[in-house]
Amino acid sequence: MSVIRKGYSRQMLRIGGVLMVVVTLFWQTQISYALGNASSERVTAATITDSLHIGNVVPTWGQQIPKLVYDGKWYYAASLDGEMYNYPWDGKIFKSPDGVNWSLAAQFNNQTTYQPPGLLLDYKGDLHMQVGCYGYADKPCFPGFQTNGTGAVSYHHVVFNNRLADGSFDFSTFADHSVMNSPFYYMGTAVDKTGRYIYTAYADDVWDLHLAVFDVKKNDYIVQKVIVTPPSNRAWLYPKVQPGNKPGEVSILTGQYVLGSPNSAVYDDVFYLNSTDFGQTWSSPQLVTHVDNPNGYERWVDATDLAIDAHGQIHMLYFEKSDGNPDNELWYKEGINGSPVGLGKLDNHAQLKIAPNGERFIFTSEGAGLAVYRSTDGVQWSKEYYPVDHVQSIFWPTLVEKSNGSKTKPHEVKMIVAGQVSGSNAFSHLLMLTYSWSPNQQGNNEAE
């Protein structure tokens, strides 16, 4: 049986200096789905490191930040680390020639990094690293970085193009494209299908949402502008950036945070907006979901993930915890005007992938294992569950994707997750999981 809820929302926001009113009619449809175990799928795990000491934030925090890339020869994984409950944190980058044997490739200075560094590969095969760093005068966050000297978080963008004798990147030399005078928080970033244009969205210190577009061929930014000024006492954070199938096309899914709230999960709205001219102009933001009086516990929303298929159709995941839908927290929707499908009480850090044949995959952590939800139509979903050895729990996958410039294989998805072991509060483990499937195999639709 379906449960349908209809409502209206009215929002005022400023776009490119123009105050606009957005009125959105939305429908939410909760549909039952089958759970099943598939016989031919498999998951393998490799330990990147088991000696992280961070304890107050998951080291793979920020699903909008690409943290695992593969250039066809080497894997690179980015993570946070720290001394248990110290803040801010350290950044680390690991490398592997085969996805099994890993070593530390680069390390940030102690307590200088806000979120994990983002990694992207361009069409030339160069590695781009973007990160928000605290500008301490006496301690640049990464060897060779400049610092603004103010202690504020600033935007660092560097490109590694020299390689060591083993063919991996040399992290001691880089080309610097940092924007030192730009406050930089909660970025999301991706590279387009040509590998030429890198899109980065982020908030500044007065909470305007910015977009920067870097042209790899011109070796410079071609767009740097404010794209949205949120309503009073609101901030648009953690933007999920997804380039379209043509150069210049880019979409953003982002959550609206209530400033001054007692915790970091007090979001009342999720918005979608898109551009077809490299971010110079934007569609009117469209409301995806809303919750009244969010408190970050029983009531809140989040922009979880965004994907675009081969036909240019958008697919989104968003999180809504509310009194009106107690049985569903994660929702899938195809197209901005599509009917939302409730997926149950899944984590808000799930990841969405659309296969070339149109099959949908959702990857999320559940306890000590990886849960994979699959659907050929976006309505009926099957579930697979794969325990991961040697950890008590895993958290928050980040995928290798073409949108981060990586080489990918058909019918295989690689991802990094964080892990905890029994008796410790530290997120000590960083693991790479490989999920593979037969192209014709579906879940058996039997109750789990």
> What pLDDT does residue 106 have?
96
> What pLDDT does residue 182 have?
66
Residue-by-residue DSSP string for 202-236: EE-TT--EEEEEEETTTTEEEEEEEEEBPPTTEEE
With CA atoms as reference, report the closest residue to 76 among 46, 53, 48: 48
**pTM (two decimals):** 0.89
> What pLDDT does residue 181 have?
63
The torsion defined by the Cα of 137, 142, 146 and 152, in degrees rounded to 10, comes to: -50
What pLDDT, in 10s, does the model give residues 85-116?
888 889 999 999 999 999 999 999 888 888 89
Q: What percent of the chain has pLDDT over 90?
A: 69
What pLDDT, in 10s, does the model give residues 363-378?
999 999 999 999 999 9
Q: Average pLDDT of 30-58?
A: 71
What pLDDT, in 10s, does the model give residues 419-428?
999 988 999 9
Burial 171-186 (b: 16+ CB within 10 A, else e): beebeebbbbebbbbb
Confidence bin at 188 (pLDDT 50/70/90)? very high
With CA atoms as reference, report the closest residue to 80 among 47, 45, 56, 46: 56
Q: How far apart are CA 90 and CA 129, in angstroms?
A: 15
Q: Average pLDDT of 279-294?
A: 95
Classify 128 as helix, strand or coil.
strand
Q: Average pLDDT of 60-70?
A: 93
What pLDDT, in 10s, does the model give residues 210-226?
999 999 999 999 999 99
Classify 403 as helix, strand or coil.
helix
Q: How far apart are CA 68 and CA 48, in angstroms?
A: 12
> What pLDDT does residue 441 have?
55
Classify 435 as helix, strand or coil.
strand
Classify 374 as helix, strand or coil.
strand
Taking 60 as the threshold, does the pLDDT of residue 3 lie above it? no
> What pLDDT does residue 35 have?
39
> What pLDDT does residue 24 have?
38
What pLDDT, in 10s, does the model give residues 300-345?
999 999 999 999 999 999 999 988 778 889 999 999 999 999 999 9
- Phi-psi sector, 367: left (phi>0), alpha (psi -120 to 50), beta: left
With CA atoms as reference, report the closest residue to 320 among 293, 350, 343, 291: 291
Q: Average pLDDT of 165-192?
A: 89
* Cβ-contact 34, 382 below 8 angstroms: yes
Taking 60 as the threshold, does the pLDDT of residue 189 lie above it? yes
Q: Which residue did the predictor score with more confidence, 205 or 396? A: 396
What pLDDT, in 10s, does the model give residues 435-447?
998 776 554 332 2
φ, ψ (nearest 5 deg) of residue 58? -70, 130
> What pLDDT does residue 27 have?
41
